[in-house]
């Protein structure tokens, strides 16, 4: 069982500035509540009992929200003094973890996977990092992940138009000691410099990346169209 989660909540929300006020992306209001509310609620339902919030841009807004609206929540703040990239943010937050395996997710994405299934698979294959993969059709916003027969990751394909494929849902089970022993800079991209690099070097490394396919509800509010979609789908939820 995974009991701890890192929530990446430092995004600027540049593409949403036309439709939301000057707040972090995860604080964009959806049906009267910050989107982050729904992420926290989902994780609590899946028995996550310690949250590590990775904050940067306008962190005070999120910290005030947590203090006022989630007084009983067991959480820790990991604060970037400057943008560190997704990898640097995860690395800084992972140091505050007390668990061997941890969930990593984005504060502006809700992917309602079966967390227990992800955790069990991650442990069974002794994975360094297991990606939750969402089947999708007719899209160009995401790249595609291809798996081998044993569900280890074979390739990451660039963003372009696809009629169908598995996308990286931005939700991971991460083996913290395996991750922290990597030689990585302070600032780096988790996707490019950790995930893709591991695939390129997999022939020379014992640890592998794996993927588990979960065709569950998924929404990423990073663009105005999907933010508008969330307003409709979350109404009265």
Name the token pair of 168.
Answer: 């990286």
- Say how far apart CA 179 and CA 26 lie, in whole Å: 25
**193, β-bridge pairs:** none
Q: What spatial distance separates the first Cα and last Cα of the chain, rounded to whole Å?
A: 27
What structural domains and CATH numbers belong to the chain?
Answer: 4-233 (3.90.550.10)
**What is the pTM for the complete model shown?**
0.93
Up-side HSE of residue 201: CA atoms within 13 Å toward CB? 11
What are the distances in angstroms from CA 68 to CA 52, 72, 137? Answer: 17, 10, 40
pLDDT digits (tens, 9 = 90+) for 105-132: 999 999 999 999 999 999 999 999 999 9
Separation CA 150–CA 173 (nearest Å): 17
The predicted-structure confidence for 126-185, as pLDDT tens digits, reads as follows 999 999 999 999 999 899 999 999 999 999 999 999 999 999 999 999 999 999 998 889
Q: Locate tokens 């933010």: which residue?
A: 227
Residue 13 in this model has a pLDDT that exceeds 70:
no
């Amino acid at each position: 069982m995974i009991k701890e989660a890192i929530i990446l909540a430092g995004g600027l929300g540049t593409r949403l500035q036309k439709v939301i006020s000057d707040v972090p992306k995860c604080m964009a209001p959806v049906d009267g509540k910050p989107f982050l509310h729904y992420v926290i609620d989902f994780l609590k339902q899946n028995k996550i009992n310690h949250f590590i919030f990775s904050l940067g841009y306008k962190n005070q807004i999120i910290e005030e929200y947590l203090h006022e609206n989630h007084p009983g929540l067991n959480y820790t703040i990991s604060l970037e003094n400057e943008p560190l990239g997704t990898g640097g943010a995860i690395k800084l937050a992972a140091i505050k973890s007390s668990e061997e395996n941890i969930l990593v997710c984005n504060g502006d994405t809700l992917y309602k996977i079966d967390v227990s299934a992800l955790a069990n698979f991650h442990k069974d294959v002794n994975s360094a990092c297991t990606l939750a993969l969402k089947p999708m059709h007719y899209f160009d916003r995401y790249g595609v992940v291809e798996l081998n027969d044993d569900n280890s990751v074979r390739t990451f394909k660039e963003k372009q138009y696809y009629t169908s494929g598995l996308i990286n849902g931005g939700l991971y089970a991460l083996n913290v000691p395996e991750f922290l022993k990597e030689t990585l800079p302070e600032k780096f991209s988790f996707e490019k410099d950790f995930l893709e690099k591991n695939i390129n070097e997999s022939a020379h490394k014992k640890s592998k990346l794996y993927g588990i396919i979960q065709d569950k509800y998924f929404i990423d509010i990073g663009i105005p169209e999907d933010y508008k979609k969330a307003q409709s789908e979350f109404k009265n939820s």
